[in-house]
Amino acid sequence: MMANTESFTSRTFHYLMKNKLAVTGGILVLLVFVLSLFAPWIAPYDPAAIDVKNILIGPSFSHILGTDDLGRDVFSRMLWGGRISLEVGFVAVGIATIIGVILGAIAGYYGGWVDSTIMRAVDIMLSIPTIFLVLAVIAILEPNIINIMVVIGLTSWMEPARLIRAEFISLKEREFVIAAHALGAMDARIIVKHILPNGLSPILVSATMGIGGAILVESALSFLGLGVQPPTPSWGSLLSSGKDNIEIAWWLSVFPGLAILITVLGYNLLGEGIRDALDPRQQE
């Protein structure tokens, strides 16, 4: 079993490396992650430091991405904003994945009225536009980073639930599951030890692409003033502050927009590549 697992992993990695778009996505993801992670050491200025002598200075040697309307260095603020955006993306997707896996596993394994009830809840949630639901909840709650992560996670679990449910419906009739039943294994052990490890491939793809989606939602909320509050920088809030000076300071909108584009594109390309690499037809 260990040899087969290692062989499958190595083949998957091999096919992933052959996919140029996936490799490109991985490089973009890694670049943004490293720059954001090491922001305290890379950022040349304090992201909150106001410099009235350098207000709305264009890209230059001293400020490579220019300054904003308070003289703050845009490059430093983008680096620190990347930490916020990635934190929201990872935590929100983690919450959504945990909820989705639990509910999807229960629905797929037990079927019947349990499955119907959970799937109707999924249908109801999917019928409500996510961004409007998030906006409504954030408008009621205090707009801070914790609330944003929790709300995005609680409104994004439907896709993981559907994916894991489909995997459980397919896997629960396999011989190894029937054998576990015959040996008297409890349902919880069968779900966690036998079925779940064999059904996580689509969840990996969903989670990878979901990070990009969560970053987009957080950016939209911050752009509307319902996300991370000033003076804490995030890419969405940088876009929002840049729109007032877009005619005279294009860099305030262009660079944060490019950061969002590159990051979301990277996660989408990587997710697509992982999905193709995990396709059983590729493993033949």
Preceding amide of 47 cis, omega within 30? no
* Reduced 3-state DSSP string for 43-92: CCCCCCCCCHHHCCCCCCCCCCCCECCCCCEHHHHHHHHHHHHHHHHHHH
Predicted confidence (pLDDT) at residue 2 exceeds the cutoff of 60: no
Distance CA 222, CA 86 (A): 14
With tokens 């906006």, the residue in question is: 135
Please report the pLDDT score of residue 226 as a whole number.
79
Tell me if 143 sits within 8 A of 221, measured CB to CB: yes
Nearest Cα neighbor of 222 from 148, 141, 146, 136 is 148
Distance CA 164, CA 97 (A): 10
Please report the pLDDT score of residue 161 as a whole number.
92
If you average pLDDT over each of 80-94, 124-138, 191-205, 241-255, which comes out highest?
80-94
Tell me if 259 sits within 8 A of 78, measured CB to CB: yes
Residue 61, classified by CB atoms within 10 Å of its CB into exposed (0-12), middle (13-18) or buried (19+), is exposed
**Rounded percentage of the chain residues whose pLDDT exceeds 70:** 95
pLDDT in tens, 66-100: 898 888 999 999 999 999 888 989 999 999 999 99
Distance CA 78, CA 44 (A): 12
pLDDT in tens, 260-278: 999 999 999 998 888 887 7
Query: pTM here?
Result: 0.86
Residues linked to residue 67 through DSSP beta bridges, in sequence order: 73
Predicted confidence (pLDDT) at residue 5 exceeds the cutoff of 60: no
Q: How many residues does the chain have?
A: 284
Cα-flanking dihedrals φ and ψ of residue 72, to 5°?
-80, 145
Distance CA 184, CA 271 (A): 38
Predicted confidence (pLDDT) at residue 282 exceeds the cutoff of 60: no
Tell me if 228 sits within 8 A of 234, measured CB to CB: yes
Average pLDDT, the chain: 85
pLDDT in tens, 141-180: 777 888 888 888 988 899 999 999 988 888 888 888 888 7
Domains of the chain, start order: 2-283 (1.10.3720.10)
Distances (CA, A) of 233 to 190, 263, 276: 46, 17, 36
Please report the pLDDT score of residue 178 as a whole number.
80
Q: Output the six-digit token pair for 152.
A: 């995005």
Please report the pLDDT score of residue 91 as a whole number.
93
Please report the pLDDT score of residue 32 as a whole number.
92
pLDDT in tens, 26-51: 999 999 999 999 999 998 998 888 88
pLDDT in tens, 171-216: 888 888 888 778 777 888 888 888 888 888 888 888 988 998 888 8
Predicted confidence (pLDDT) at residue 243 exceeds the cutoff of 60: yes
Please report the pLDDT score of residue 33 as a whole number.
92
Distances (CA, A) of 57 to 44, 72, 236: 16, 10, 21
